[in-house]
Amino acid sequence: MDDPPADTAPIRPEERFDEARVAAYLRDHLPDLVGDGPIAFEQFPGGRANLTYLVRAGGGELVLRRPPLGPVAPGSHDMAREHAVLSVLHRAYPPAPRAYLLCTDPGVMGAPFFVMERRRGTVVRESWPASLPATDAFRRRLGENVVDALANLHRVDYRALGLEGLGRPEGFVARQVAGWVDRWNRAKDVEVPAMEELGAWFPGAVPAPQGAVLLHNDFKLDNLIVSGSGEVVAVLDWDMATLGDPLIDLGSTLAYWAEPGDALYALFSSGGGSLSGVMPRSGVVERYGAATGFDATGLAFYHAFGLFRVAVIIQQIYLRYRRGQTSDARFVVLGALVPLLAEEARRAAGG
């Protein structure tokens, strides 16, 4: 195995900010962490939505996160929500990084942002990292740990952490459906028949909920930091965290857990697809159900909705690229993926 590759890069030109102003703010509000010496910024270039920066200061490292440039969908990229969750969740859920500071003044950076601790390890993205073993045994262990991390999150007593105001569990799935269909309608630039069919089908197919848990709401392998032994070191990207039906999270995870027979296996082959050969989706469902006690057998709705959400997210990112709000060359191909994901979702729904 090789050492983990460098995970930061110089800041992309269009995503730069007034570093002196932000540094001054950090010195004023986090003096014990950043000290009074130089503060340097780099960018974590791997994400596709929120902008994430490394802060080097005081002999240590912190992470700063802010929303993407341009308009954002209502309810998404919520830095205040992410900060609220991570300010307390680390007490009960070790993979949650600790948040230290929230800035809601857009005059500092151009948008709200928050600062949290840095966790070290590897994020699995477009290709399997050379720093991680490529053996079936390691992949299986990692797959099991990913499922266990989701199950452990759903066992957290969110009331004991004071997070009962984070969401409204009653009617949660119906609101999710309405919200994501609305996001699709706002972001689409062409008609995609399968997306329209699914948007019409979901409202009448909402299953009875199985209770309320703390949801990550985008739980997938490339939102995790993992160790060389296959442990989940950190769960990232909590800006959509809320309270609701646990199977929404499971369906989202399954959407990314592509199998070799799926039309979009190649798209996600570095993520869940890297694990499905040794742990298929059926194994994910079985392990999760055994760990939580939730009935995870009737998942067609949740899996299809998870894929629908992925399609909407990809369309939103592609729209930002088309509008010139990011120059990230990875995004040029995203528009062609939406119809394929929509068909995958229709098949998952039984259509």
Cα(308)–Cα(344) distance, rounded to whole angstroms? 9
Over the stretch 62-88, which tens digit does the pLDDT of each residue have? 999 999 887 776 667 899 999 999 999
Residues 75 and 209 in one domain: no
120-132 pLDDT, tens digit per residue, is 999 998 778 889 9
Structure confidence at residue 271 as a pLDDT band (50, 70, 90):
low
Model confidence band, residue 267 (pLDDT cutoffs 50, 70, 90): low
**Looking at the domain assignment, is residue 131 inside a domain?**
no
CATH number, domain of 315, equals 3.90.1200.10
- Give the per-residue pLDDT at 121: 95
Domain end marker among 117, 146, 179:
117
Residues 199 and 97 placed together within one structural domain of the fold: no
Lowest model confidence (mean pLDDT) among 3-17, 190-204, 265-279: 265-279
String of DSSP letters for 274-333: HHHTTS-HHHHHHHHHHHH----S--HHHHHHHHHHHHHHHHHHHHHHHTTS---GGGGG
Cβ proximity of 140 and 134 under 8 Å: no
Residue 230, SS3 per DSSP: coil
Q: At what angle do helices 246-256 and 300-322 cross, to 10 degrees?
A: 60
For residue 43, how many C-alpha atoms fall within 13 Å in the half-sphere facing its CB?
19
What's the pLDDT band for 162 if we cut at 50, 70, 90? Answer: very high
**Furthest CA-CA distance within the chain:** 61
Tell me, yes or no, whether 63 lies in a domain: yes
- Evaluate if residue 1 carries a pLDDT over 60: no
Q: In percent, how much of the chain has pLDDT > 70?
A: 90
Residue 2 lies in a domain: no
Residue 126 lies in a domain: no
Structure tokens at 93: 């859920």
d(CA 193, CA 178): 18
Whether 224 has a pLDDT exceeding 80, the answer reads: yes
Name the nearest CA neighbour of 266 among 126, 104, 109, 106. Answer: 126
On whether both 145 and 109 belong to a single domain, the answer is no
Residue 226, domain member (yes or no): yes
Q: How confident is the model over 181-197, as a mean pLDDT?
A: 93
Q: Which helix (H) or strand (E) holds 214?
A: strand 213-215
The whole-number pLDDT of residue 314 equals 87
**Residue 351: predicted pLDDT:** 65
Residue 183 has pLDDT above 60, yes or no: yes
Number of independent structural domains in the chain: 2
CATH code: domain of residue 78: 3.30.200.20
- Residue 60's domain comprises 13-117
pLDDT in tens, 92-102: 999 999 999 99
The tokens of 29 are what? 């509000």
- Span 144-153, average pLDDT: 98
Indicate the helix (H) or strand (E) that contains 40: strand 39-44
Using the 3D structure, point to which of 54, 87, 117 is the last residue of a domain.
Answer: 117
Instruction: From 279, 295, 9, 5, select the one nearest 125 (Cα to Cα).
Output: 5
**Nearest Cα residue to 219 out of 168, 270, 295, 151:** 151
Same domain, yes or no, for 49 and 20? yes
Count Cα neighbours of 317 within 13 Å in the Cβ-side half-sphere.
23
Q: In whole numbers, what is the pLDDT of the chain averaged over residues?
A: 90
Helices (DSSP H) in 3-78: which residue ranges? Answer: 19-29, 31-34
Distance between CA atoms of residues 146 and 142, nearest Å: 6
> Alpha carbon of 289 to those of 84, 280, 295, 299: distances in Å?
29, 14, 6, 12
338, part of any domain: yes
pLDDT at 9 over 60: yes
